[in-house]
Amino acid sequence: MNTRPVIDESTGPLSLSASFNNDCSCFAVGLEDGFCVFNSDPCEIKLSKDLNAGIGSAEMLGRYNYLALVGGGRNPKWPQTKVIIWDDSKNKIAITLELKTPALRVRLTKSHIVVALHNSVHIYRFGTQPEKISSFETADNPLGLICLGKKTVAFPGRSPGKLQLVELESGNVSIIPAHTSALRAIDLSRDGQYLATASETGTLIRIFSTANCAKISELRRGVDPAFIFSLAISPNSTMLAVTSDKSTLHVFDLPVTVAPATSASRIARQRSQSPRTPTEPEEAQNPAQKWGFLSKIPLLPRVFSDTYSFASTHFEMGDDNVGPNSPSSLSYLPALGSLPTRTQKGILGWLNDETLLCIGTGRDGRWERFRIGEQAGNVSGVEKDARIGTEAGIGMERRSVWRDGWKRYLAS
């Protein structure tokens, strides 16, 4: 029997949470002793506050003039039933919201504050004296899933798998039956027109239109179940990025045509606008049809005809083993009424339509930058299969995703 004492690896900073601001130009990090704000690219620290106590959640509005803070860690600065709106320009607390149960996630815009609790969501009008506009019951939401846009807010419904979409001005509520099992990740496009969802199964991602709540696309991450870490729709809504506990980043095309003439969006637009000739092979029209002609054979399982990512790569999961009593040694799902206690991995944010950022928390807090576009060189495996249609239909242009930079941001 091994009776040697466990080595204490508690030295060094520990990030408890990380989140991008509205346009992903910055990200805020909650620490065991305060919080800090980093510029997204290049990854450089812009603001650091030592509060001598833990911040379990830090959410940013704009370029960090206002931050929503919730206590956390071994020595919380404030009870988790308080949401603190910090005014950095005045270096003081601007607003305090008192809640009955711990806040799991807070989202901010210039006009609204939205707080997710374990079984409810509360919407406030932003001001020196915040006014509660409405409250909604939800199914168990231990991850604090919530997306806030300029006109709408999305969060889980009252039963697992359903999604509530609320218009902020009118208060109108739409219910979307997104999945048959509990939701695990959601994302709202920047223009508010599209909503991406994934369930706890983690095999399928569905895209809905917020205008009529209709499903417009269904994408397959894989066949094996996975824990989805993050979903992120690109700024021009032509691509979707997904990370999971398989340590894999997938990038999908979305069936949307837009004006920007980036290499990736140009390919998507050409594919959607070019007329099909009678002699053109079917698989040339959908480069993400991984199985080629097999997808056309009737009675085969649907996995052969589903739409897969056009490119994928690995992101760094980091080392979760940072001590027996550390937050990262616990379960993914928190206990009822507490902030998530496992290190967050694979948090995605689009810097622009060709640049994707991925960050994680813990002692090994990492920032990674990925590029999406044409890249020369040999490819193989799933990536090669996914490109067959692209090469056949669009002049041998190859799209891929690759990492071109990384950094341990806590070492800044």
Question: Each residue of 339-390: pLDDT tens digit?
Answer: 445 679 999 999 999 999 999 999 989 999 999 998 755 444 444 444 433 3
Q: Which residues of the chain have pLDDT under 50?
A: 1-2, 4-9, 257-288, 291-295, 297, 299-301, 304, 321-340, 378-396
Pairing outcome for strands 347-352 and 355-359? antiparallel
Side by side, the strands of the sheet bearing 366-374 are: 347-352, 355-359, 366-374, 399-408
pLDDT value of residue 182: 97
Structure tokens at 207: 């895209």
pLDDT value of residue 374: 87
- DSSP states of 375-392 as a string? --S---HHHHHHHHHHHH
pLDDT value of residue 305: 53
Q: What are phi and psi of 292, to 5 degrees?
A: 60, -130
Give the whole-angstrom CA distance, residue 228 versus residue 222.
11
pLDDT value of residue 333: 40
Question: Each residue of 218-273: pLDDT tens digit?
Answer: 999 988 999 999 999 999 999 999 999 999 999 999 986 444 444 444 444 444 33
pLDDT value of residue 200: 96
pLDDT value of residue 209: 96
The angle subtended at Cα 368 by Cα 366 and Cα 374, nearest 5°, is 170
pLDDT value of residue 376: 55
